A and B are shown apart, each in its own frame.
Chain A
Amino acid sequence: MSVDLATVKRVARLARIAVTEDEANRMVGELNGIIDFVEQLSEVDVTGVEPMTSVMPMEMRLRADVVTDGNKADDIVANAPATDRNFFMVPKVVE
């Protein structure tokens, strides 16, 4: 499988990264280079092999469902580009 310009633009849209025509064209070559490199994985016989979903086999630790954090809205918005009364301000979300 290889990527073409249309695919690059579609993927850029999915990734929400604006690309210029030049950048998109350059990426076609670069991404194809990487895809070619990883293509060799299809050689491996993975019949009956489970995908590795956990690096160290372990049971996820649970805790009691109690509130242990919070009341720090100021901290949370401290680094935001635009806020108003502890809301994050963004351009209008148009549908």
Chain B
Amino acid sequence: MTDLTSLTIAEARDKLASKEFTSVDLTNAYLGAIDAANSVFNAFITVTPEIALDMAKASDARRAAGAAGALEGIPLGIKDLFATKGVHTQACSHILDGFKPEYESTVTQNLWDDGAVMLGKLNMDEFAMGSSNETSYYGPVVNPWKAEGSNQQLVPGGSSGGSAAAVAAHLCAGATATDTGGSIRQPAAFTGTVGIKPTYGRCSRWGTVAFASSLDQAGPIARDVRDAAIMLKSMASVDRKDTTSVDLPIPDYEKALGQSVKGMKIGIPKEYRVDGMPEDIEALWQKGIAFLKDAGAEIVDISLPHTKYALPAYYIVAPAEASSNLARYDGVRYGLRVDGKDISDMYEKTRAAGFGTEVKRRIMIGTYVLSAGYYDAYYLQAQKVRTLIKRDFELCFHAGVDAILTPATPSSAFGIADEALAADPVAMYLNDIFTVTVNMAGLPGIAVPAGLDKKGLPLGLQLIGKPFDEETLFRTAHVIEQAAGKFTPSKWW
């Protein structure tokens, strides 16, 4: 049988429908690929072969009975912070040691309801805090891409590093991920895959381990724009259990692909041209502009004046919300417990032993900025700046801009254990400079591969859209993808 793992979700969907092979065949192919290569990447931290095959058999039976769903029989990887009933769910943290939820997250339930198959749980930065997947309790993930002529192991980005690496290395047909400051878009850009963070409220957050509740949003990482559109349609839903989820119809996103972008206004924000931006990134941006111009779009210079304040505001708001969300990890009801002389001692020892360094850092910052005497100066100020950031976007959209084009990242994938980044937390935070604005404003954003840098590493462009206008993002990203082509790492493993 030809390599089934080389098929996209759309291709597999068609061939499963025409009975060229079964979901069991496809699932076995992926389980084989994971068995052969996962130790190289450390993308999956738990593989669920029995569950996968049970689900695949059930899927084949449903198909035989004429009841095939939108993702029938498609094997997916699931980021470790989605609650999967009876299966390891720890957000890659030691503090949730042994946690197996008795419930399923809404997003993954949606996928199973549409017939998908679960291959296992994917590696991530601990509690989604990180931009390189290096803060995971289970160790770093290796990017399937390597620089030309180099054997250096590179990061896949984060926090959804396992998701991005698994998709790029063909260890799953697609993967779920989440994005709080860029955790879908940045790893997608680092691995030559497509990742979309939908509008805040498009997907339910129920059953996803919370990091920053006003910023977190689930979304797919997939091999191309079509696959991402197919996955998002299944993942999205309004949910009574998440009052921030929005009750709006879910379009058939796939239909947006192939629609013309003639006459669309694409905004180019001058504030995204940062000091010291590598020329590869500027060249990529110009290339993207040319692609869209050639397709008939109108390029418009715009200004988003508060852009530079998004990252500092994020590093107040996100840690503040995290300090509140992570207060529940106290050794009482689930996860790790380290005994102490009294309950307070138990809390302190458990949390000290259970949380990694970056998580502790962010909890501390969050606690500090929310503490008496500092709340107004930091948290309140940041929330006001957030209103201004959102307003910048609203004014542009109101003036007729349909979508905004920016680079996705300030560089291509960097090396694992990079010393300069390890020494300075803020340097690592700068990786999110182009992506955090989108979470702060609650808007949808997609990262689409658009080229390679001088070292042969993938670079992505980001499109930012109006609330609940993911269709425009898919339409426009597809145009870029058609012009730029697809990028697959050459197999060294």
Q: Which residues of A contact B (CB under 8 A)?
A: 1, 3, 7-8, 11-12, 14-19, 27, 30-31, 33-35, 37-42, 44, 46, 49-53, 55-56, 58, 60-61, 63, 72, 75-82, 88, 90-94
Nearest A residue to B388, CB-CB:
A49
Q: Are B363 and A17 in contact (CB under 8 A)?
A: yes
CB <8 Å contact, B341 and A44: no
Q: What are 5 A-B pairs at a CB distance below 8 A? A: A11-B367, A16-B327, A27-B364, A31-B361, A92-B342
Q: A19-B352, A52-B387, A88-B332 are in contact. Are A38 and B378 (CB under 8 A)?
A: yes
Beta-carbon contact of A41 and B240 below 8 Å: no
- Asked whether, in the complex, the Cβ of B351 is within 8 Å of the Cβ of A56, the reply is no
Contacting residues of chain B (367-388) with chain A, CB-CB under 8 angstroms: 367-368, 371, 374, 377-378, 380-388
> Does the CB pair A52–B390 fall under 8 Å?
yes
- Taken residue by residue from 88 to 121, chain B's Cβ proximity to chain A (1 for < 8 Å, 0 otherwise) reads as 0000000000111111000000000000000000
B360 is an interface residue with CB less than 8 A from chain A: yes
Instruction: Let me know if B398 is at the binding interface, CB within 8 A.
Output: no
Residue in A closest to B370 when the chains form the complex, CB atoms: A14
Among A17, A33, A35, A50, the residue within 8 A (CB) of B360 is A17
Q: What is the bound-complex CA distance between A81 and B339, given in angstroms? A: 11
> In the complex, which of the residues B243, B246, B348, B368 has the most CB atoms of chain A within 10 Å of its own CB atom?
B368
A to B contact number (C-beta, < 8 Å): 168
A90 contacts B346, C-beta separation under 8 Å: yes
Q: Which single residue of chain B is at the shortest CB-CB distance from A83?
A: B333
Interface string of B233-266 (1 = CB under 8 A from A): 0000000100110110000000000000000000
Q: B337 an interface residue at 8 Å Cβ cutoff?
A: yes
> Across the interface, which residues of A come within 8 angstroms of B380, CB to CB?
51
Asked whether A55 and B214 contact (CB < 8 A) given A41-B313, A80-B333, the answer is yes
Interface residues of B (CB under 8 A from A): 98-103, 199-201, 214, 240, 243-244, 246-247, 306, 308-309, 312-313, 315-316, 323, 327, 330-337, 339-349, 351-352, 355, 360-361, 363-365, 367-368, 371, 374, 377-378, 380-388, 390, 424-426, 429, 442, 467
Cβ-defined contact, A44 with B385, below 8 A: yes
B243 touches A60 (CB 8 A): yes
Could you list 4 further interchain pairs (A-B, Cβ under 8 angstroms) beyond the known A1-B374, A30-B425, A55-B442?
Answer: A38-B382, A75-B103, A81-B336, A94-B343
Is B425 touching A16 in the complex (CB atoms < 8 A)? no
**Contact partners of A77 in chain B: CB under 8 A:** 333
Please report the C-alpha to C-alpha distance between residue A35 and residue B331 in the assembled complex, in whole angstroms: 30
Chain B neighbourhood of A55, CB < 8 A: 200-201, 214, 244, 442
Kindly list chain B residues whose C-beta atoms are within 8 Å of the C-beta of A53. 383
Please tell me if the beta carbons of B347 and A16 are within 8 angstroms of each other in the complex: yes
Complex Cα spacing A46 to B360, Å: 30
Chain B residue at minimum C-beta to C-beta distance from A13: B348
Chain A residues with CB under 8 A of B467: 56
**Shortest distance from the beta carbon of A23 to any chain B beta carbon, whole Å:** 8
- Closest Cβ–Cβ distance, residue A81 to chain B (whole Å): 4
Q: How far is the CB of A20 from chain B (nearest CB, A)?
A: 9
| B381 and A90 contacting across the interface, CB-CB below 8 Å | no
The dominant DSSP class at the A interface is loop
Chain A residue contacts of B316, Cβ below 8 A = 38, 41
Residues of A contacting B335 with CB < 8 Å? Answer: 79, 81
A51 with B368: in contact, given A58-B246, A79-B333 (CB under 8 Å)? Answer: no
Q: Which residues from chain A contact B387 at a C-beta distance below 8 Å? A: 49-52
Complex alpha-carbon distance, A94 and B385, angstroms: 43
Contact across chains for A91 and B363 when beta carbons are under 8 A apart: no
Q: Tell me, in angstroms, the Cα distance from A8 to B368 when the chains sit together.
A: 9
Note all chain B residues with C-beta closer than 8 A to A81: 331-332, 334-337
The contact of A49 among B360, B374, B384, by CB within 8 Å, is B384
| Residues of A with C-beta under 8 A to B101 | 79
Are the CB atoms of B341 and A91 closer together than 8 Å? yes
B309 touches A40 (CB 8 A): yes
A3 CB contacts on chain B under 8 angstroms: 368
Chain A neighbourhood of B201, CB < 8 A: 55-56, 58
For A33, what are the chain B residues with a Cβ–Cβ distance below 8 Å?
424-426
| Pairwise interchain contact B102-A41, C-beta atoms closer than 8 A | no
Residues of the A chain whose Cβ atoms lie less than 8 Å from the Cβ of B199: 56
- CB B271 to nearest CB in A, in angstroms, measures 14
When chains A and B are docked, how far (Å) is the Cα of A56 from the Cα of B244? 8
Q: Which of B240, B244, B365 contacts A63 (CB 8 A)?
A: B240
CB within 8 A of A15: which of B339, B363, B378?
Answer: B363
| Cα–Cα distance between A81 and B355 once the two chains are bound (Å) | 17
How long is the Cα–Cα vector from A72 to B101 in the complex, in angstroms?
13
Q: Which chain B residues lie closer than 8 Å to A78 at the CB level? A: 100, 102
Cβ–Cβ < 8 Å partners of A16 in chain B = 327, 330, 344, 347-348, 351
Chain A residue at minimum C-beta to C-beta distance from B202 = A56
A17-B352 CB under 8 A given contacts A30-B361, A52-B390: yes
Q: Which among B102, B214, B355 is the interface contact of A17 at CB below 8 angstroms? A: B355
A76 CB, nearest partner CB in chain B, Å: 8
Would A1 and B377 count as touching, CB distance under 8 A?
yes
Complex CA–CA separation, A63 to B243 (angstroms): 11
- B381 and A94 form a contact (CB under 8 A): no
Q: Please name all residues of chain B whose beta carbon is closer than 8 Å to the beta carbon of A7 when the two chains form the complex.
A: 368
**Given A55-B442, A60-B243: A41 and B364 interface contact (C-beta under 8 Å):** no
For the complex, give the distance between the alpha carbons of A94 and B285 in Å.
Answer: 61
B225 to chain A, nearest CB (A): 25
